Each structure stands twice: as C-alpha cells, then as structure tokens.
Amino acid sequence: MVRQHHALSMRRLFTSRFLRLEDSSHVFFVACGLLVVSACSAGPDTLAQNVSFRDSAGIKIIESSAPQWGDTPHWVVGAPVVEIGSVDGDSSSILYQVQGAVRLSDGRVLVANGGTNELRFFDDNGRHLASIGGTGSGPGEFRWLTRVWVSADSIFAFDNALARVSVFTDRGEFVRSSRLEAMLGSGAPTAQGSFADQTLLVLGAPSGVVPTTKGLIDGAEWTLLRYGAVGQPINHITAERESVRWGHDISGLPPAVYLPFSLEIFPFALHGTSVYVGTGTAFSVRRWENSGRLLSEVRWQGAIRPVSQTDVARYREVMQRARPRHFDSRAWNRYLSEVPFPEFMPTYQRLLVDADGNLWVEQFRTPWEDQPRWWVFDTQGVWLGEVMTPKYFYIFEIGAHFLLGVRRDRLGVEYVTMLPLLRDGRRDAN
C-alpha cells in the first residue's frame, strides 16, 4: 500500500495530540553570570554538583542530574488575559480547526483558522480586525491551511494541499508565494518555520511504501531539511525514524498502524539558525545548526516508565470509548485485543523554544492523563525545573511572559487563549 500523503500524517499528528485533550475532558552558551543567576536559588554549590559541561569531538554535552529549582516551581501560568472565540454571534469570532496562532509585535493576535482557510487578525483585547485568505488556489488563498508563523515582520502561511508557502506583510497584504520542491530521496515536504537567516525549516516525509508484512515494522525515516525562501532545497539537516508500526490482517483498518503510546513523528523545535531534535524515548535532545552540523546535546536524569498490565488494561478501556467513527467496532475491538504494547512509555512528546531561547520539553502523557508538565532548560542547556500548564490547552507560542494557544471546551468550541507566564513574580505579559 502506498504511503498516504504527508499532509494526512501531519493532520493526524496534530489532531491526535489536540483531540486527546478533548477526550480527556470527557472520560547553549551565554555569559556565565546568567548561568549563576539561574542557579542561585538552589545554593552556591548546586550548579557544580548538578550540571556538567564537556566537549566531545566538537559537540557540547550538557548533563544535569537534578533541576536547579529543586521541587519548587519558579515559573507559573496565570489566568487568561485574552480569549478569542465564541459559541455563536459574529462568524469572524467562531473558530474551527485552529492550526496556529502568533502574537505580532504590536500586540495583535493572528489566528490560522483551518476550518475556513483564513488568517484572522484580532486586537490585544480579542476583537476581530480583519480576515485574509479563504479557500481557493489563487494568490493569498489556501486549499489546506496548516501552519502560520512570523519572521522579520512578515507573515508566513503554509498550504499543505498545494505544498505552498505564502508571504504577507504584517498588515495582511499578499507579497508572494512559492511551492516547495521535493528533495531527491525524500517524500512530500511541509514547511515548519523560518530560520533567522530567512531560510525555511522543512519536514520531508518518507518516500516509498509502508511494508504490509505482519508483525512489528521499523519506523520509516523522516528528514529535516533546509530550503531557500523561494522553495528550493538547500541541504539535509538530520533525520529520525517514526514510531514502530504493527502489521496485521484486520479488515477495515490501515494495514500498518502505530503501537499504543506512540509519538508517531519525532519532536523538534526551531530556534534562531538551529533546530532542537529529540527521539522522545530518551532523556536527551540534540541541537543542530541549519547547515547540518551537530552543535550540542542536552541530557538530564529521569526514570524510564515501564508499560504495566494496568496501563494496558486502562488503554484498552479508554480507547474502546474513543473509537474513531469511521472504524468498524468489531475491527476496532480486535485491534485493541491483539495489538502488541511497547515495553516502555516515551519520555516526552513535544519540544518548544520560548522567546528568550529556553527549551521546553513536554513530558509524555497517556490518553487518560490530562495535566501537561514541561521540563525547562535555559539557553545553556541547564535543567531549570518543571512548569505545569493548563489542562486541555495546546500551546502554539511561548513569549517572554505569555503562553498563546488553543483550548477546547466540553462542547468542542475552540478558543485561542493568552495566559501570563509569571517568572519569579513578574506578572507582565509583554
């Protein structure tokens, strides 16, 4: 069977993470002075005891044995300061299939509303200002709007159906568009964001077919690529394999499905002219320069979580209630009873980088766990501590003092929400 277009995989990846929240509602190197400040609350000798730095063949290795904050959270998330969305009323405020949101430099919030293929502008109080785009294939239109980001005061939006990046001014005027060419040996490309040098980070899907043999199937390789601004490939950055699949003969299901508790595609996050990449199965994250050179590796200590028989039973119970509507119940029940389970849970599931360059690593959660917890590492790669974020809230952007994301209520209504990030008592959301 030919592999599905990468766009479908990416939609499934986002949807599986985001809808799980809905289901749950129902069932590194800077001045050493900065480093000392980040660790001072833990005592003068803590840094030397808890963190080691070394160089291995030109690669910086940062290892933390314990968080600098100890068990006391230093950063907390406050109540919403802006909330966009409504159940009824003006259609411009009704959101559906939100694919992204960013805060512009003047305080406006830009929302990629996938349900209408529009980019919608709101002021800092959440009032609708304007909408651009819409469904179509013409300049500034989208067939399948899946991502939005801002770089150098320009707005970038990606159309997964057309493999096209469209660029707008920060006032919404269309500037240009470019179609991504597939790199030799890689499948369908999807743009993920812009590096500081204005080249593009692109995720390349595996090429070829998914094996249809029965039993465990090694995950195919996905690649991170660097593209020019007009859509041409420049260089390969790195690659990782997707999660293990299971081949079966159950009629009505895809012939090769991911195992329970799978991440599917590996986590990564762009920052500056580099990208953080992890497997999600170890306590480490690597940082790659966009030229393809490995710069550093952040490591920390944690306890690997075995998959117990209680976890297996709980998974079957929860997922039986969460059966996708297009799957036959008998096929789904057979899948739940026959699918093999991995020996261990993943360690983390998402990576983000905030406006100050701190790395956020979201701890893995099962389908029945609804409290997001993030490990945070400073710009040097030192493990600071843990931050909890609200339940049923999917983060798109972390500013210096705010979180911007989308939440879905019990009725399935989506709200783009801004929350203050309170760092050691600082309560401004700038």
How far is residue 208's CA from residue 3's CA, in Å, rounded to a whole number?
7
274, 287 contact by CB (below 8 A): yes
Measured CA to CA, the distance from residue 74 to residue 42 in angstroms comes to 11
pLDDT above 60 (res 362): yes
Q: What is the pLDDT of residue 425?
A: 52
pLDDT band at 41 (very low <50, low <70, confident <90, very high): very low
Judge residue 122's burial from the number of C-beta atoms within 10 Å of its C-beta, 0-12 exposed, 13-18 middle, 19 or more buried.
buried
The whole-number pLDDT of residue 326 equals 87
Amino acid at 75: W
Of 7-21, 117-131, 207-221, 331-345, the one with minimum mean pLDDT is 7-21
Per-residue confidence band for 426, with pLDDT thresholds at 50, 70 and 90: low
Q: Count other C-beta atoms under 10 Å from residue 199's C-beta.
A: 18
Residue 370 per-residue DSSP state: -
pLDDT cut 70: percent of the chain above it: 87
Given pLDDT bands bounded at 50, 70 and 90, which one contains residue 148? very high
Cα of first residue to Cα of last residue in the chain, in angstroms, is 50
- Residue type, position 360, single letter: W
pLDDT higher than threshold 90 for residue 32: no
Question: What whole-number distance in Å separates Cα of residue 150 and Cα of residue 141?
Answer: 18
Cα–Cα nearest to 259, from 313, 222, 219: 219
**What single-letter amino acid sits at 278?**
G
Q: Is the pLDDT of residue 37 over 80?
A: no
When pLDDT is cut at 50, 70 and 90, the band that residue 430 belongs to is low
Question: Rounded to an integer, what distance in angstroms lies between the CA atom of residue 160 and that of residue 172?
Answer: 20
Residue, of 366 and 324, whose pLDDT is higher: 366
417 forms beta bridges with 83, 405
Average pLDDT on 297-303 reads 97
pLDDT of residue 304: 96
At 383-406, the pLDDT tens digits run 999 999 999 999 999 999 999 999
Average pLDDT for the chain: 88
Q: What is the pLDDT of residues 62-102, one digit of tens each?
A: 999 999 999 888 999 999 999 999 988 789 999 999 999 99
Task: Give 345's pLDDT tier (boundaries 50, 70, 90).
Answer: very high
Which segments of 98-232 are extended strands (E)?
A: 98-103, 109-113, 118-122, 128-133, 145-151, 154-159, 164-169, 174-179, 189-194, 200-204, 215-217, 221-227
**Prediction pTM value:** 0.88
DSSP string, 257-306: EEPTT--SSPPEEEETTEEEE--SSSSEEEEEETTS-EEEEEEE-----B
pLDDT at 250 > cutoff 60: yes
CB 75 within 8 A of CB 422: yes
Burial track 319-338 (b if 16+ CB lie within 10 A, e otherwise): beeeeeeeeeeeebebbbee
Predicted confidence band at 38 (pLDDT cuts at 50, 70, 90)?
very low
Whether 212 has a pLDDT exceeding 90, the answer reads no
Q: Please name the amino acid found at residue 397.
A: E
> Is residue 332 scored above 90 in pLDDT?
yes
Residue 31 amino acid letter: A
Q: Is the pLDDT of residue 325 over 90?
A: no
- Lowest-confidence region among 173-187, 263-277, 278-292, 295-309: 173-187
pLDDT at 184 over 90: no
- Residues 6 or more apart whose Cβ sits within 8 Å of residue 209: 1, 2, 3
Give the Cβ contact number of residue 131 at 10 Å.
Answer: 16
Segment 323-337 mean pLDDT: 92
pLDDT at position 46:
45
